[in-house]
Amino acid sequence: MQDLPRAFLMLLELPYHAVMLLSSQKNFARNPLIGSRLLNRLGLHIGRKRLAGAMTSIRRARLRKSLDDELVERFDRQGYIRINDFLCAEDFASIKKELLSNTWIFLEMRQPSTATLRINLDASLCRDRYPAIQKLLVNPALRSWLSYAAGYPGEPIIAIQVIRSGGVASGHDPQSDWHADTFHSTSKAWLFLHDVAENEGPFAYIPGSHRLTNKRLLWEKEQSLEAADNLNVYHRHGSFRASEIELEQMGYSIMETMAVAGNTLVVGDTSGFHRRTPSPGPTTRLEVYASLRRNPFFAGFFPHIMALPWVRDHWAELAFSYFQRKSVSKKGSAWVPSKPRKLNTDEVDKLMSMKGDKQGQAKAGILEYQGRVH
């Protein structure tokens, strides 16, 4: 009898869950329709994935007009692009100067063996105080590639990000598993602020894994039947994890690791399989991180909430206030605000660890700046 009120409540919630099928909602455990074994056996998950993919293709045909044809073809084939020397040396050095000279409040998230720290960036924070960072926020090439990779226009989230990894000996990093973020195309980008070596946990991607092949769709259907009860919380919430054996069975045999020089931009469709490569020892990585995710079915038909002028200019402030309140609540928050601080010694060392003649001008500018302030 105790189950009757619960069953009645679930019945009342069904219309809401049905509407969410035409949204970006992906959680197999929380939405009984998305997680339904019967409906997914009949093709619900695959149907959502196919429909989202078809609409993405239509929108990308319009979004590609402002981009280089050769790079677009490379992206369509691989699911990601890598652009070396993305910024001019002067702009790249200026961003580093602003990071070195100011005090920051980070939002920090801890996962086993890894801490992610972010400074969310918007116009209200940067316009009058950090001109070099503000210039990057409105960079048309960055925004165009984020839109193309996601398959829809919109206002991206952009942040300074620090990744601190304790290495494989300190525990399992859930982001080191091969995974797809969700069932539809979304975009993430990283502008690396220093060289990233093979042993420093670089981003890795399976080329072509963003495409809906028959083998990939068969695997997706198999996963959808059991996802609601999967032991892995990320898999259960719709970010499917895949073993290397499963990847081989889907026909993926090549892994591309982004060991890159500073000032390299990587943009990827994170519906393809990707991961943070496990590092053998402790590492620190600094980058500009950007992300764009919207409703894959209606993006382009309705304005993006993040693009509304006041929201666009103040979203970072709103996010910080939200996480600050949540962090002191009973439930707590995955993201916790830090005390104001300057970059610490290892972060400064990373920003200074540039190699190669192409970075010489940027490094000289930072050294000259540090000489003036110290």
Percent composition of the chain: helix, strand, coil (DSSP 3-state, to 5): 45, 15, 35
Residue-level pLDDT at 3: 62
Q: How many residues does the chain have?
A: 374
Picking from 116, 45, 52, the residue whose alpha carbon sits closest to that of residue 294 is: 52
> What element of type H or E holds 21?
none
Confidence tier at 171 by pLDDT (50, 70, 90): confident
Residue the block writes with tokens 């996010």? 319
Residue 341 is classified by DSSP as: B
Residue-level pLDDT at 118: 97
What are the φ and ψ backbone dihedral angles of 328, each rounded to 5 degrees? Answer: -105, 5
Q: What is the pLDDT of residues 253-274, one digit of tens each?
A: 899 999 999 999 999 999 999 9
Residue-level pLDDT at 366: 42
pLDDT higher than 80, residue 10: no
Q: Which range is least confidently modeled, 44-53, 92-101, 364-373?
A: 364-373
Residue-level pLDDT at 195: 95
**Domain total for the chain?**
1
Confidence tier at 362 by pLDDT (50, 70, 90): very low
- Domain hosting 294: range is 3-373
Following DSSP, what letter does each residue of 281-316 receive, concatenated?
A: S-EEEEEEEEEE---TTTBTTB--GGGSHHHHHHHH
Q: Which range is least confidently modeled, 7-11, 133-137, 241-245, 351-355?
A: 7-11
The alpha carbon of 131 is separated from its chain's Cα centroid by a whole number of angstroms, namely: 24
pLDDT higher than 90, residue 331: no
Picking from 313, 342, 284, 293, the residue whose alpha carbon sits closest to that of residue 161 is: 284
Q: What is the pLDDT of residues 184-232, one digit of tens each?
A: 999 999 999 999 999 999 999 999 999 999 999 999 999 999 999 999 9
Q: What is the CATH number of the domain that holds 11?
A: 2.60.120.620
Give the CA count within 13 Å in the CB-facing half-sphere of 130. Answer: 25
Q: Give the full edge-to-edge strand order of the sheet including 256-257.
A: 256-257, 203-205, 274-276
Confidence tier at 356 by pLDDT (50, 70, 90): low
Q: Whole-model pTM?
A: 0.91
